[in-house]
């Protein structure tokens, strides 16, 4: 972390989750007053990562990205990892918590214990921490899924939020000028996201990281860069070079990683990146269990109640020019497949989008999309179970199950349950009359 433009990039204290001490309206950065509605939730969602260890009481910065899930820099998360006990690598080596307060002049605390390291990224300097509870009154921040657009040649206006501490790598006099003696407390540091990325080594990879000029110091590892126009997190701060630039993991790159999505961060859009192979050989990619409820089919409910059976779903969702469908699996197998995918943590809307991502947009538009993620998943599985036409030489069910296999390959027991189902689909395909042009899409 580094000071880049000492006279032009101030550091503001925080009071009651708001930026304090803003300048007069005709001075630089006075416009932050107009961004209060955007900055206040981001300030509230950012906390100081602390330990009970007398050697490292203050570790860095983290921020809430989903219920009971906080993001930080991998370099911060590695300081708490248990390194000497096989099988305990994700358990903190000492008691760790995040205090979402720690403001200057206030004794208030909003402390939440950290249960484990949920994920450390093998390529980007990024990590996720699982919390014991949600901090009260805090809403998760949203990470941008789009590459920053630079309409201004000077760069995109952002604010770093975190807890700068004394840093022997930076000039002590400059630190005194910018921070006084008020270190280790929550601050907002405005600056610009620069149009040109910066190359920097991190964890054995030469990264093309976001470059910015917000003032940062030790203790700012894991700090979010907040776009003051949208409130989205554009990056996660992890390194810096004095008077050159600070560097942040690009949020839009993380949005392209299905393993980050499966761990709990929600993103939209974007293809798979060329660095995804860095996950190969990583045994523990940590997919949390899904909170989605099990669905009891309407037919089963009706049968148990002794009432009439509801009609089967209409085939009207299928493209009208396709061949008349037949079922690949019996209904009870579809319900079992639905439960398997829920067990694997694939019941959120963004995860369902990944499952069906190998199919064309036009085809997906015919599939059910209303209801909770679990309900949509069941409805779509039932629909494609009756679609026996070929897309790129395979039935739609095959494409979906192959995508599922890619997403849950981190867990052999799930694969052991899924692979026989894929084999049945392949066997079903062998019995199709592939010379029938109506079956080719």
Q: Where do the structural domains in the chain lie, given as residue ranges?
A: 1-257, 298-439
Across 57-61, 161-165, 285-289, 411-415, least confident range: 285-289
299-308 mean pLDDT: 43
Q: How many CB atoms lie within 10 A of CB 116?
A: 20
β-pair type (69-72, 58-66): antiparallel
Residue 276 confidence class, pLDDT cut points 50, 70, 90 = low
10, 214 contact by CB (below 8 A): no
Query: Which single residue is written with the structure tokens 């089963």?
Result: 300
Which pLDDT score, from 0 to 100, does residue 120 have? 92
Q: What is the pLDDT of residues 166-195, one digit of tens each?
A: 776 767 777 777 777 778 899 999 999 998
Which pLDDT score, from 0 to 100, does residue 6 have? 65
388-409 mean pLDDT: 84
252-261 mean pLDDT: 87
Q: What is the CA radius of gyration of the chain?
A: 25
Q: Give 162's contacts (C-beta < 8 A, 6+ positions apart).
A: 46, 60, 61, 186, 187, 189, 216, 219, 220, 222, 223, 224, 237
328, 395 contact by CB (below 8 A): yes
Structure tokens at 203: 């964890």
More confident residue, 241 or 77: 77
Which pLDDT score, from 0 to 100, does residue 86 have? 65
Rounded distance between C-alpha atoms, residue 423 and residue 205, angstroms: 38
Share above pLDDT 90 across residues of the chain, in percent, rounded to a whole number: 37
Which pLDDT score, from 0 to 100, does residue 283 have? 59
Structure tokens at 61: 């910065």
CA distances from 195 to 34, 232, 363, 402 (A): 24, 17, 38, 38
281-291 mean pLDDT: 51
More confident residue, 403 or 62: 62
Across 83-97, 371-385, 413-427, least confident range: 83-97
Residue 261 confidence class, pLDDT cut points 50, 70, 90 = confident
345, 286 contact by CB (below 8 A): no
Q: How many CB atoms lie within 10 A of CB 77?
A: 30
153-163 mean pLDDT: 88
Q: How many CB atoms lie within 10 A of CB 109?
A: 11
Whether residue 309 is predicted with pLDDT greater than 70 in this model: the reply is no
285-305 mean pLDDT: 43
**What's the CATH fold of domain 1-257?**
Thrombin, subunit H (2.40.10)
- Select from 414, 439, 437 the least CA-distant residue to 429: 439
315-324 mean pLDDT: 39
Q: Give 116's contacts (C-beta < 8 A, 6+ positions apart).
A: 90, 91, 92, 129, 130
Structure tokens at 373: 């993620």
Average pLDDT, the chain: 80
CA 254, 258, 263: angle at the middle one, nearest 5?
A: 85
Query: Which single residue is written with the structure tokens 């006990």?
Result: 85
Which pLDDT score, from 0 to 100, does residue 294 have? 39
Residue 144 confidence class, pLDDT cut points 50, 70, 90 = very high
Which pLDDT score, from 0 to 100, does residue 398 have? 92
Residue 3 confidence class, pLDDT cut points 50, 70, 90 = low
Sign of the four-CA dihedral 385, 386, 392, 394: positive
253-264 mean pLDDT: 85
Q: What is the pLDDT of residues 17-72, one digit of tens each?
A: 998 888 777 777 788 888 899 999 999 999 999 987 766 768 999 999 999 999 99
* Paired residues of 66 in beta bridges: 69
Which pLDDT score, from 0 to 100, does residue 420 have? 93
Q: Which of 55-64, 309-318, 406-415 reaches the highest mean pLDDT?
A: 55-64
DSSP one-letter code for 293: P
Please list, residue by residue across 193-221, b when 16 or more beta carbons sit within 10 angstroms of its beta carbon and e when fewer do. bbeebbebebbeeebebbbbbbbbbbbbb
Rounded distance between C-alpha atoms, residue 286 and residue 69, angstroms: 13
Rounded distance between C-alpha atoms, residue 111 and residue 101, angstroms: 8
Residue 270 confidence class, pLDDT cut points 50, 70, 90 = very low
β-pair type (127-131, 111-120): antiparallel
Residue 4 confidence class, pLDDT cut points 50, 70, 90 = low
127, 73 contact by CB (below 8 A): yes
Angle of helix 412-430 relative to helix 331-343, nearest 10 degrees, comes to 150
Which pLDDT score, from 0 to 100, does residue 225 have? 97
Residue 357 confidence class, pLDDT cut points 50, 70, 90 = confident
Q: What is the pLDDT of residues 218-239, one digit of tens each?
A: 889 999 999 999 999 999 999 9
Burial class (CB in 10 A: 0-12, 13-18, 19+), 54: exposed
């Amino acid at each position: 972390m580094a000071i880049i433009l000492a006279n032009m990039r101030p550091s503001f204290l925080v009071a009651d989750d708001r930026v304090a001490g803003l300048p007069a309206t005709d001075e630089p950065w006075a416009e932050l007053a107009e961004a209060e509605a955007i900055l206040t939730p981001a300030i509230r969602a950012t906390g100081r990562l602390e330990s009970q260890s007398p050697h490292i009481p203050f570790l860095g910065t983290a921020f809430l990205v989903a219920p009971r899930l906080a993001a930080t820099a991998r370099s911060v998360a590695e300081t708490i990892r248990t390194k000497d006990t096989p099988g305990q690598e994700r358990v903190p080596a000492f008691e760790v918590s995040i205090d979402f307060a720690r403001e200057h002049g206030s004794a208030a605390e909003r402390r939440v214990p950290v249960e484990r390291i949920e994920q450390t990224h093998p390529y980007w300097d990024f990590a996720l921490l699982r919390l014991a509870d949600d901090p009260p009154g805090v809403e998760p921040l949203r990470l941008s899924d789009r590459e920053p657009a630079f309409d201004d040649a000077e760069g995109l206006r952002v604010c770093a939020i975190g807890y700068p501490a004394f840093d022997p790598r930076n000039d002590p006099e400059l630190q005194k000028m910018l921070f006084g003696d008020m270190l280790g407390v929550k601050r907002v540091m405005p600056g610009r996201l620069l149009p040109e990325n910066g190359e920097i080594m991190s964890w054995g990879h030469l990264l093309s990281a976001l470059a910015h000029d917000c003032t940062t110091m030790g203790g700012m590892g894991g700090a979010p860069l907040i776009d003051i126009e949208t409130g989205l997190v554009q990056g996660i701060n992890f390194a810096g070079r004095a008077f050159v630039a600070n560097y942040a993991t690009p949020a839009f790159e993380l949005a392209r990683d299905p393993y980050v999505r499966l761990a709990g961060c929600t993103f939209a859009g974007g293809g798979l990146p060329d660095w995804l192979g860095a996950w190969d050989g990583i045994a523990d990619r940590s997919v949390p269990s899904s909170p989605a409820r099990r669905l009891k089919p309407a037919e089963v409910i009706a049968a148990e109640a002794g009432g009439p059976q509801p009609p089967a779903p209409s085939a009207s969702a299928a493209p009208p020019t396709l061949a008349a469908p037949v079922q690949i699996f019996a209904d009870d197998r579809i319900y079992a497949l639905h439960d398997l995918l829920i067990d694997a943590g694939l019941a959120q809307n963004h995860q369902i989008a990944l499952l069906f991502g190998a199919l064309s947009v036009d085809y997906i538009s015919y599939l059910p999309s209303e209801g909770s993620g679990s309900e949509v998943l069941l409805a779509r599985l039932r629909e494609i179970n009756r679609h026996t036409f070929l897309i790129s030489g395979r039935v739609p069910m095959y494409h979906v199950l192959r995508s599922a296999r890619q997403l849950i390959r981190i867990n052999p027991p799930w694969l052991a349950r899924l692979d026989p189902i894929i084999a049945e689909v392949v066997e079903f395909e062998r019995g199709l009359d592939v010379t029938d042009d109506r079956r080719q899409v």
